[in-house]
C-alpha cells in the first residue's frame, strides 16, 4: 500500500514538472507545435525515463538480467503491455481531450482502474471484498470530480469516444498484463520498467511520430525534426525539465510496479490514481492559492477511499491481534 501511495505522490510531481515543460514557448509557438506537443513530449518523456531506468539497473550491475528477462515469455508480455499502455492508452487520452474536451479525458482517467479491477478479477482471480469495490468506486468518483470540466468543446464525438475507450482499456489492460508478468521471478519490477519505457519510447519514435506526420500530410521526418529542434531551443530549461519529469516518472513506475507485484493490479491502480489529489495539494503549496471547496472534498475522498479500497480489514485485524 505504501508503495502504491508513493507511486501516486511521485506521479503528481511528474505531472506538475511536465506541465511546466509543456507551458514553455516551443510547444505553442505554432499550430504544428501545439498539435505535436503531447506526442513529442511523451516520446521524450518515456525516452528519458528509459535512460534513467537503464542507468539504475546498470549501476546495480543488473543490465544482463534485464536482457535475460526480456527474452522470457513474461518479458515479451511486458513489451505488449508497454505498447497497449503507452502509445495506445496515452494516445487515446490525448484524442479524448483533443476531440471532446478535458471532462472526457477525466472520465477516461477515472474509469481505467475500474476496468482494470474487473479484468484482474476475471483473468487473475484477484478478489476484492464488497466494501473494497465501494471504496474503489468512491475513489474514482473523487478522481472524476477533481478533473471534471464543464467545457466539452466537442469537435468529433466518434474520435473522442474512441480515444476514451482506448485510454481506459489500454491502461487497465496494461496493469493486468504486468501483474501476470511480475509473477515470473526472472522479471522483477526494475527490469519490467526498463523494458516497458524503452519499448514505449521506441514505438513512439519509430512508428507513431512518423505516422502522425504522414496523416497530417507533412514529410515523414517532420515530427522528428520538431523533437530534435527542442534540444537547440532558446528555452534552455526545456529538455532538463522533461528529463526531470522522466526521472519522477521512473521512480513512480518503480513503486507502482512494486505495488502491483505485492498487492495486485486492482488495488495498486486505486492507490496510483491518488496522484490527482497530491497534484492539487502540491500545486496549492507552490502557487499559494486555496483550492475550491469541491476540489478539497474530492481530494480527501480520493486519498481516504483509495487506502480503504486497498486495505483488507480482516487481515489487518488478524495481524493486530
Contacts of 67 (CB under 8 A, 6+ apart): none
What integer pLDDT is reported at residue 44 of this predicted model? 95
From CA 85, how far away is CA 189, in angstroms rounded? Answer: 16
- The grid coordinates of residue 199 equal 519499448
From CA 102, how far away is CA 55, in angstroms rounded? Answer: 36
Contacts of 205 (CB under 8 A, 6+ apart): 43, 47, 224
Backbone angles phi, psi at 80, to 5 degrees: -60, -45
Of 279, 281, 258, 271, residue with least CA distance to 302? 271
What integer pLDDT is reported at residue 104 of this predicted model? 65
What integer pLDDT is reported at residue 301 of this predicted model? 93
Buried b (16+ CB within 10 A) or exposed e, 56-79: bbeeeebeebbeebbebebbebbb
Query: What CA–CA distances, in Å, run from 267 to 53, 105, 171, 306?
Result: 24, 22, 14, 8
DSSP 171-239: HHHHHHHHHHHTTSTTS-HHHHHHHHHHHHHHHIIIIIHHHHHHHTTS-TTHHHHHHHHGGG-S-TTHH
What integer pLDDT is reported at residue 273 of this predicted model? 86
Block mean pLDDT (10 aa), the chain, length 321: 94 90 91 90 94 97 95 96 89 76 66 87 88 90 78 70 87 93 94 96 94 92 94 92 96 95 91 89 89 90 90 62 56
From CA 134, how far away is CA 124, in angstroms rounded? Answer: 20
pTM: predicted TM-score of the whole model, two decimal places: 0.88
What integer pLDDT is reported at residue 211 of this predicted model? 93
Say how many residues make up the chain. Answer: 321
What integer pLDDT is reported at residue 251 of this predicted model? 97
From CA 179, how far away is CA 192, in angstroms rounded? Answer: 11
Amino acid at each position: 500500500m505504501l508503495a502504491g501511495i508513493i507511486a501516486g505522490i511521485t506521479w503528481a510531481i511528474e505531472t506538475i514538472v511536465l506541465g511546466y515543460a509543456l507551458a514553455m514557448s516551443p510547444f505553442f509557438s505554432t499550430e504544428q507545435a501545439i498539435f505535436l506537443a503531447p506526442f513529442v513530449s511523451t516520446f521524450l518523456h518515456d525516452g528519458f525515463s528509459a535512460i534513467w531506468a537503464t542507468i539504475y539497473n546498470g549501476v546495480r550491475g543488473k543490465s544482463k538480467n534485464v536482457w535475460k528477462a526480456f527474452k522470457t515469455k513474461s518479458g515479451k508480455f511486458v513489451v505488449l503491455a508497454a505498447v497497449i499502455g503507452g502509445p495506445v492508452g496515452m494516445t487515446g487520452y490525448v484524442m479524448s481531450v483533443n476531440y471532446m474536451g478535458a471532462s472526457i479525458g477525466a472520465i477516461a482517467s477515472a474509469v481505467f482502474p475500474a476496468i482494470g479491477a474487473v479484468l484482474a478479477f476475471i483473468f487473475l482471480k484477484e478478489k476484492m471484498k464488497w466494501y473494497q469495490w465501494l471504496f474503489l468506486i468512491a475513489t474514482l468518483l473523487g478522481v472524476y470530480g477533481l478533473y471534471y470540466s464543464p467545457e466539452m468543446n466537442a469537435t468529433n464525438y466518434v474520435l473522442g469516444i474512441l480515444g476514451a475507450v482506448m485510454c481506459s482499456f489500454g491502461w487497465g489492460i496494461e496493469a493486468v498484463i504486468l501483474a501476470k508478468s511480475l509473477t515470473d521471478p526472472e522479471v522483477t519490477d526494475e527490469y519490467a520498467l526498463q523494458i516497458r519505457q524503452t519499448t514505449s519510447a521506441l514505438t513512439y519514435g519509430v512508428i507513431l511520430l512518423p505516422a502522425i506526420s504522414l496523416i497530417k500530410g507533412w514529410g515523414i521526418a517532420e515530427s522528428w525534426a520538431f523533437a530534435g529542434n527542442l534540444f537547440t531551443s532558446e528555452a534552455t530549461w526545456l529538455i532538463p525539465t522533461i528529463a526531470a519529469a522522466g526521472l519522477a516518472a521512473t521512480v513512480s513506475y518503480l513503486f507502482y510496479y512494486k505495488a502491483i507485484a505485492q498487492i495486485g493490479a486492482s488495488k495498486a491502480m486505486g492507490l496510483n490514481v491518488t496522484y490527482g489529489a497530491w497534484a492539487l495539494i502540491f500545486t496549492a503549496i507552490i502557487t499559494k492559492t486555496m483550492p475550491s471547496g469541491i476540489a478539497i472534498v474530492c481530494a480527501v475522498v480520493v486519498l481516504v477511499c483509495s487506502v480503504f479500497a486497498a486495505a483488507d480489514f480482516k487481515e489487518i485485524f488478524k495481524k493486530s491481534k
